[in-house]
Amino acid sequence: RGLDQEAPDVPRTKSPHIPPSPLSARPSFYQGSFPFYRLPSELGSFSLDEKRCYHNDARRLRYLSPPPGMDRGEASLGWDLMDGFEDRYVCRNEDDKEGLLHILTWVKENKGLLRGNGRSASDRPVDRDFVTWRGHLTKILCTPYETQEGWILAVTLFKGTLYISERETAVAYKKRKERTREQEKLMYSGYKFESYMCADSPDGSPCPSEVVNTNEGFCSVLLGRLASHSFLVSGEVDCKDSSSSNPSPPSCYVELKTSAQIRNSHQERSFHRYKLLKWWCQSFLLGIPLIVAGFRNPKGRIVSLEKFRTSEIPHLVRGDRQSWDPAVCMNFCNAFLDYIKKVAITDDPRVVFVFSWEPGQDITFTVEADSANLVVPDWYVQALSQ
């Protein structure tokens, strides 16, 4: 007799839900062709002012205003990225954990744009599989190549849509609290670069004497698709290029970046392997086609500007076999979103599925049945239940 004939013949009414086993993040598992990814389309935007107050408009959108001669490499530079660090710097309170607050506020105020058609419209007020910040997706994309920092992502299924938020890990908390003055300066310098490169109006000029206030920001809200996963994603956009050949967002948006001046081939390799991975993931996700980078010398002065086309970045790293592959990033993200859909099947705003990952390990999860740390707050549940 065969093994299956020995199995007891018990009638089963309902098969129990078998939780999926942990998900690997090993790059070798995700090699292959690039999955379907649709260029996201902008559905709206919002702004956060100097007090971090939400506005349902684009008042904090800024405009790229590069120095004359940038395209010919002749720009007169030497900008001091430390200028104002002591006396003209207002830093956002990072203890204030906003979670998805501003995206949910936008959704609440723009509900009419998101409702699906047909009978199920009231069951699924947000006709998308996922809602999240671009920064969280960037972390997911970079995971197969990340060797330093783990992450915790908290997920809730509410009315047919999965909301992905982040929780700070204990290691990240400790690092943040123990940040040195040098690290604070480096953070400031990235924002200061923006104030040398951006103007408040399309024909205005940068105002480097302004206060750098990291509460302020402009966020685009976009709809996108990765394979079978539809999503609503929001991300902070540094500026718009009014002279862009394609004036519609996100194609007219530009990402600004700073990096240490590259002086030897070792530094160049590490710039390609680590920096360009993050830059590509961040900009590709929103469909931002251009990155303008400022390279700084050890004294914190900008010594050169360089443009990177997002679509060309993968070609720059292709020669290095130990480098990264954009298809691995995207296939892993696709697999992780599949995994979330398999795990997070209880549609309840009080239930939080907590996914954790540490470098070198698999992704695991726990379930908080009545969580003290909700992903979708009560005010949002009420607003979407009306």
- Footprint of Mg ion (CB under 5 A): 236, 238, 256
Smallest separation, CB 374 to Mg ion (Å):
27
H-helix segments, the chain: 3-6, 101-109, 134-142, 170-177, 181-197, 265-270, 276-286, 313-317, 326-343, 378-385
Q: Where are the beta strands (DSSP E) in the chain?
A: 37-48, 54-55, 63-64, 89-90, 130-133, 151-158, 161-167, 198-199, 212-213, 217-226, 229-236, 239-240, 253-260, 290-296, 302-309, 352-357, 364-368
Nearer to ligand A3P, 93 or 346 (CB): 93
Question: Packing angle between helix 326-343 and helix 276-286, nearest 10 degrees?
Answer: 60
Dihedral sign computed on CA atoms, order 341, 343, 344, 346: positive
Question: Which of left, alpha, beta for 227 (phi over 0: left; psi -120 to 50: alpha)?
Answer: left
Residues 6+ apart with CB under 8 A from 93: none
Partner in contact with 206, chosen from Mg ion, ligand A3P, none, beta carbon below 5 to 8 Å by kind: none
Q: Which pair of structure tokens corresponds to residue 373? A: 């740390």
- 133 or 365, CB closer to ligand A3P? 133
- Interaction partner, residue 191 (ligand A3P, Mg ion, none; CB < 5-8 Å by kind): ligand A3P
Rounded to the nearest whole angstrom, what is the least distance from the CB of residue 146 to ligand A3P in the complex? 13
Binding site for ligand A3P (CB under 6 A): 187, 190-191, 193, 238, 257-258
CB of 187 to Mg ion, least distance (A): 12
Q: Which does 365 bind (CB under 5 to 8 A by kind): ligand A3P, Mg ion, none?
A: none
Q: Which is nearer to ligand A3P, 125 or 217 (CB)?
A: 217
Residue nearest to ligand A3P (CB): 190
Q: What is the Cα–Cα distance from 55 to 69, expressed in whole angstroms?
A: 36
> What count of other Cβ atoms lies within 10 Å of the Cβ of residue 197?
25
Considering the complex, state which of residue 199 and residue 381 has its C-beta at the smaller distance from Mg ion: 199
**Shorter beta-carbon distance to ligand A3P: residue 167 or 257:** 257
Q: If we measure between CA atoms, which residue out of 279, 239, 237 comes closest to residue 257?
A: 279
- Nearer residue to ligand A3P within complex by CB, 172 or 381: 172
What six digits make up the tokens of 69? Answer: 């001669």
Amino acid at 60: R
Q: Report the partner that residue 187 touches, choosing among Mg ion, ligand A3P, none (CB closer than 5 to 8 A by kind).
A: ligand A3P
Sequence-distant (6+) residues with CB within 8 A of 35 are 226, 227, 327, 330, 331, 334
Decide whether 219 or 376 has the Cβ nearer to ligand A3P: 219
Q: Are 198 and 62 in contact (CB under 8 A)?
A: yes
Report how far residue 136's alpha carbon sits from residue 282's, in angstroms, rounded to the nearest whole number. Answer: 10
CB of residue 190 vs ligand A3P: minimum separation in angstroms?
A: 2
Minimum CB separation of residue 214 from Mg ion in Å reads: 10
Q: How far is the CB of 171 from ligand A3P (least distance, A)?
A: 13
| Nearest distance, CB of residue 236 and Mg ion, angstroms | 5
Shortest Å distance, C-beta 183 to ligand A3P: 8
What is the token pair recorded at 117?
């058609």
Residue 161 interaction partner, one of ligand A3P, Mg ion, none, beta carbon < 5-8 Å per kind: none
Between 115 and 174, whose beta carbon lies closer to ligand A3P?
174
CB 120 within 8 A of CB 150: no
Nearest-10 crossing angle of helices 101-109, 378-385: 20
Q: 64 pairs with which residues across the strands?
A: 198
- What is the closest distance, in whole angstroms, from the C-beta atom of residue 191 to Mg ion in the complex? 8
The listed partner (Mg ion, ligand A3P, none) that binds 357, CB under 5 to 8 Å by sort, is none
- 302 vs 363, beta carbon nearer ligand A3P: 302
Smallest distance, ligand A3P to C-beta of residue 222, A: 16
Q: Please, which residue, 136 or 257, has the CB nearer to ligand A3P? A: 257
Q: Which does 258 bind (CB under 5 to 8 A by kind): ligand A3P, Mg ion, none?
A: ligand A3P
